[in-house]
Chain A
Amino acid sequence: MLPRDALAESLRAAEKPALVAFVTAGFPEPDGFLRLLAEVAAAADAVEIGVPFTDPMADGVTIQRSSQAALSNGVSLGWILDQLASRDFELASPILLMSYLNPLLAFGYDALAARAAEVGVSGFIVPDLPYEESAPLRTALEPHGLALVQLVTPATPPDRLIALCQSSQGFVYAVTRTGITGGAATFPPEAAEYLAAVGAASDLPVCAGFGVRARDQVEEIGQHADGVIVGSALIEALERGDSAAEFLAGLRPR
């Protein structure tokens, strides 16, 4: 099975709602990266590994902070791929790389796609790459069966929403509110309608998130989506020194 299909399958097979966890690579410390990744992969149903970038223009203060800390500790895309290559154990869930475009461009798309496939990455999420500009990366990922996950937002017009859902791979990332990552979690009444529209337009699992930090939100969003994405709140738990596994377990509906 292609990595992107395996990703979709494993999200479908997960207990509802699937939990997708985001961690900035090498945060809080580069040393424990693989250990933390294994822990998060065991507690979640898929993991987004954040590639730190100097100018995270779609991210709020929490992920800005974790990115900055990782960069100061020398974390780079190359380092992440080397770490993944060096592991001698299987991860319990599929992993994706979430990165702004420039680190990917600097690495070179073809070399990146080959290397990512080799080290067990299932796909990419690129917040500053809208569909219209995505052909070169998509083409490079294609021969390796890697997913390019498309984001949709409440601001996306209906016809565009359908096109984006159809073009997505692995899953559809439904941002639940306009804005940057982190911040207040709100689930306005129209969000249910929006997620229903995303679900109707998509053959893939729909994972929703932005500002999710508590179990009741996971339960609420979980009624309208296949999966829930948790990022900033997990980073904040790590900043407090809390256990990632316990924090994630605490988000699962009882």
Chain B
Amino acid sequence: MAQLDTSDASAVLAALIAGDLPDSDGRFGPYGGRYIPETLVPAVSRLTDGVERFLHDEAFQRRLDEELRDWIGRPTALTHVPRLSARWNADVWLKREDLAHTGAHKINNAIGQALLAQALGATRIVAETGAGQHGVASAAACARLGLPCVVYMGEIDVARQAPNVDRMRRLGAEVVPVTSGDRTLRAAIDEAIRDWVSDPVGTYYLLGSAVGPHPYPYLVRELQSVIGKEARAQMLERGGLPDAAFACVGGGSNAIGLYHGFLGDETVRLYGVEAGGRGDALGENSATLAAGKPGVLHGAYSILLYDADGQIQETHSVSAGLDYPGVGPEHALLRDIGRVEYVTASDNEALAAVDELCAAEGILPALESAHALAGARRWARQNPGTRILIGLSGRGDKDMPILAQHPIGSTDADKEHSDAAA
């Protein structure tokens, strides 16, 4: 195995663009790999074989394209937002994953993996969820294909994303509240893996972000790349490439899908916005790439938030979907080579961004997506007159219980900056 020389950033970028990464060991440079219990090794090998056999197979692609078009409603719109543009003194465009069926980009991955699970002969699907969007997407995809679905969800998230819990159950999924560990997304992944270890042959683990052991980061990226592909073509149709593109980063699936449309476009600056939460102190945010170190969690070597003893750090974010101490391995590499710059937006900035987009354009974004808006807003201030693309990863209906605790106008985006890097 020839280790990639990550000091040669342009060579790494060329390898990424050429599709040479991950390598055959599932590595993005030093990151990635497969750190899994022995019981799962054969299951993950079967999955890897299945991905190779089906993902780029013509019949599979045709079936997937049909579902993307007829069931999900793709392509999703690219929306110009003139009133927000005027407020920001920029030319702002939104890639509307909130308009995808079930209300977020998560469905692109869920239907693709559910089709793969079916092709592999799985009889049962398990999934984890934070915000509930991946759970809803998995439940819907499983209903569509007639597969039983169990969704693990931390009990804190069950409470704060209640509307999505009801949706999952209506869609026929069994929702299992997780009371162990940190009782959020991280514990839900632990529990989904435990379930999978107990039945590695019949059960398919439908992982919802670009994290986990190889081949998940690759598989999820390929399924989410439709976002960037469509967005690039739409931007070109509507006057040209953006100067900068923004996406929020939890595990990093919507972001990696958006970036892959633009990696080769030197003039397009790429930004990832992590959750700055309540502040810089350990435990007060979920800003993995800003504050983390290399380590192993949930099957991959990547950047993580952990303490001096190697114990994974509790995280905080107002948005359940970003409240995670890890990040996909490809993002760690993109950061190291400088192709993507990762910044943070605080809880308050995100809450203010929700209100601003609602008022200015009649769109209620998910709290996760609002982080991308907040990061872009700050960048627009420093780069007036630029053309900006924002990945609007999902809609905010699920956040009504949280928004109810923050009356309109109670947050002021300009009062607080958790990060001035952008």
CB distance from A74 to the nearest CB of B (A): 9
Interface residues of B (CB under 8 A from A): 25, 33-39, 41-43, 180-182, 186-187, 189-190, 193-194, 197-201, 294-299, 304, 306, 308-312
Across the interface, do B296 and A105 meet the contact criterion of CB distance under 8 Å?
yes
Across the interface, do A130 and B310 meet the contact criterion of CB distance under 8 Å?
no
For residue B191, which residue of chain A has the nearest CB? A57
- Given the complex of chains A and B, what is the CA–CA distance between A129 and B200 in angstroms? 17
CB distance from A37 to the nearest CB of B (A): 20
For residue A104, which residue of chain B has the nearest CB? B310
Across the interface, do B296 and A101 meet the contact criterion of CB distance under 8 Å?
yes
Across the interface, do B190 and A152 meet the contact criterion of CB distance under 8 Å?
no
User: How many residues in A have their beta carbons less than 8 Å from beta carbons of B?
Assistant: 42
25 residue pairs A–B, Cβ–Cβ below 8 Å = A53-B311, A54-B311, A55-B187, A57-B193, A57-B194, A58-B39, A58-B197, A61-B180, A68-B180, A78-B309, A102-B296, A102-B306, A102-B310, A102-B311, A105-B310, A127-B38, A128-B299, A130-B34, A132-B34, A133-B33, A150-B38, A155-B42, A155-B43, A160-B41, A179-B198
Q: Give the one of B38, B194, B294 with max A CB within 10 A.
A: B38
CB distance from B154 to the nearest CB of A (A): 13
* Contact string against B for A residues 47-61, beta-carbon threshold 8 Å, 1 for contact and 0 otherwise: 000000111111111
Q: Which residues on A sit within 8 Å (CB–CB) of B182?
A: 54
CB distance from A99 to the nearest CB of B (A): 9
CB distance from B82 to the nearest CB of A (A): 46
A-B contacts besides A78-B309, A152-B38, 16 pairs, CB < 8 Å: A53-B310, A55-B297, A60-B194, A76-B311, A103-B309, A105-B294, A106-B310, A129-B35, A130-B35, A132-B34, A133-B33, A133-B34, A155-B200, A178-B39, A178-B199, A180-B197
- Given the complex of chains A and B, what is the CA–CA distance between A57 and B297 in angstroms? 10
User: Would you call A71 an interface residue if the criterion is a C-beta within 8 Å of the partner chain's C-beta atoms?
Assistant: yes
Across the interface, do B201 and A155 meet the contact criterion of CB distance under 8 Å?
yes
Interface residues of A (CB under 8 A from B): 53-61, 64, 68, 71, 76-78, 100-107, 127-130, 132-133, 150-153, 155-157, 160, 164, 175, 178-180
Across the interface, do B186 and A155 meet the contact criterion of CB distance under 8 Å?
no
CB distance from A91 to the nearest CB of B (A): 24
The answer, among A54, A104, A128, for a CB contact under 8 Å with B181, is A54
Q: Which residues on B sit within 8 Å (CB–CB) of A100?
A: 296
Across the interface, do B310 and A77 meet the contact criterion of CB distance under 8 Å?
yes
CB distance from A232 to the nearest CB of B (A): 14
Across the interface, do A106 and B200 meet the contact criterion of CB distance under 8 Å?
no
